[in-house]
Amino acid sequence: MLPFIDHMLERLAGNKFYYFLDCMSGYFQILIAPEDQAKTTFTCPLHHLCISVDSFGLWNASATLQRCMMAIFDRMFGEIVEVFLDEFSVYEDSFSHYLRNLELVLKRCEETNFALI
């Protein structure tokens, strides 16, 4: 389920330091189960192709990505990071806490092999 934007903005408001991350390849990091790949088949002039990774535009792709992001940042969500699909914001009022929060988020990405590309 996507978060309400107004709730996110309320949590972000009033902080002094923000870091916005846009993971452009977020969808492509979610593998489609081999038994479901045939459901994504399409035809081009010389081939039949199927998609092996999630892609924006597939049914439930956005919901799947949001669930994955929420699982990755579970305990951090709403406290030090806000997540909306493939974009997330790290925030804090003091610079030292902000740097600590950013480090925690980046370490979590590393632990879960979530690439920020």
Q: pTM here?
A: 0.82
Distance CA 26, CA 93 (A): 28
pLDDT at 81: 96
What tens-digit pLDDT sequence spans the chain (117 residues)?
A: 778 889 999 999 999 999 999 888 888 999 999 999 999 999 999 999 999 999 877 888 889 999 999 999 999 999 999 999 889 899 999 999 999 999 999 999 999 999 887
Distance CA 4, CA 42 (A): 35
Is residue 91 within 8 A of residue 13, CB to CB? The reply is no
Distance CA 116, CA 51 (A): 21
Is residue 28 within 8 A of residue 54, CB to CB? The reply is yes
Is residue 87 within 8 A of residue 62, CB to CB? The reply is no
pLDDT at 57: 78
Topology given in CATH for the domain delimited by 5-111: Alpha-Beta Plaits (3.30.70)
